[in-house]
Amino acid sequence: MISRPLYLCGGLQSSGSTLVSWCFLQRADMDGVLDARFDTLPQMPADLSCSLAWCKFTIACFRFSEVMEYLQDEGWEVRPLLVVRDVRSVFNSLITKSYGRNGITADDPPIRLRLNRFLEDWTEFRRRGWPIFRFEDLAADPVMPLRRACEQFGLPYENAMASWPKSRDQIADARYGNERFLNSRGATLQETVVPSLIQVKTSCIPHDDLAWMESRFAEMNRVMGYPRHVAAEALPSPARAVPRFENTRRCERLRRKNRLSQSVQKWANTMLRLLPRRTPVAKAGPAQSKKALQAVRAQ
């Protein structure tokens, strides 16, 4: 099997990784997946219009290392990039999103578990010296982080990464992605990036979750230049976002199935009441049955 280079980008949901992916897919020499589904392993399009392949996914159900190994088994020569954003900003946004279901199933895992998977990947990236893209750096100078990432990949920077000449339908697979970004983005990177990217908001983070993140991610926050502590803005209760089965898509499917079954049963009962009733046939008693049997034998 002949290996082909694949530029693989990963990051947490609500980390800004779709914006980074959009920038790279604007290159004239690159095509691929804008944003793969988070609950299935990425599937690369069979025919790409450019020489360089790109794929972005979000770390939720799978770690970066797991997706990377899978794609390597498929014959790709993976070149990794990790998008990092202050996890407090990620949590504050993710807990309000439809895809941020704080569940207990494999396809909707707890948010804390998703963050732990990301931390393990970040640790591995640091150990191996792989490229790490700090999302907040876009607020200070939108182009410089992209230039630095290209240099780490060994690629020349292209102005198209900031001017955005391609439309969504010019990307091989742009079915998924952050809808808020796709619907509200400006015409260029400069028009899209806003200074509020560097603001860490905690209005939707329960106090226990905030304390857990600041303890669990203390080393990452120090290395990445994030503040050690951010004041809590949420109400004291609930103290923690508790993962529940009721938050999952699997639970929703079971509820729909049960509602359908109940509707079908109700319809069947109604139809039975509307059907004309037959006159019940009297059952033969023991004596009558005995006479009938004797008559058959006599024939």
Domain membership of residue 264 (yes or no) is no
* Least confident among 115-119, 241-245, 266-270: 266-270
Greater pLDDT, 177 or 128 = 128
What distance in Å separates the CA atoms of residue 80 and residue 146, rounded to the nearest whole number? Answer: 14
Instruction: Enter the pTM of the model.
Output: 0.84
Query: How many residues in total does the chain contain?
Result: 299
Domain membership of residue 274 (yes or no) is no
Domain membership of residue 295 (yes or no) is no
Question: Contact at 8 Å (CB) between 68 and 8?
Answer: yes
Domain membership of residue 15 (yes or no) is yes
pLDDT band at 289 (very low <50, low <70, confident <90, very high): low
Domain at 216, CATH number: 3.40.50.300
Domain membership of residue 102 (yes or no) is yes
Task: Give the per-residue SS3 of 165-191.
Answer: CCCHHHCCECCCCCHHHHHHCCCCHHH
pLDDT, tens digit, 9 for 90 and up, residues 183-210: 788 999 999 998 777 889 999 999 999 9
Closest C-alpha to 110, from 61, 64, 66, 65: 61
pLDDT, tens digit, 9 for 90 and up, residues 96-135: 988 889 999 999 999 999 999 999 999 999 999 999 999 9
Per-residue CA distances from 181 to 114, 137, 144, 295 (Å)? 22, 18, 21, 88
* Least confident among 52-56, 143-147, 250-254: 250-254
Domain of 38 in residue numbering reads as 4-251
Domain membership of residue 267 (yes or no) is no
Domain membership of residue 292 (yes or no) is no
Q: Where are the beta strands (DSSP E) in 99-188?
A: 132-134
Number of domain units in the chain: 1
Domain membership of residue 37 (yes or no) is yes
What distance in Å separates the CA atoms of residue 9 and residue 124, rounded to the nearest whole number? Answer: 14
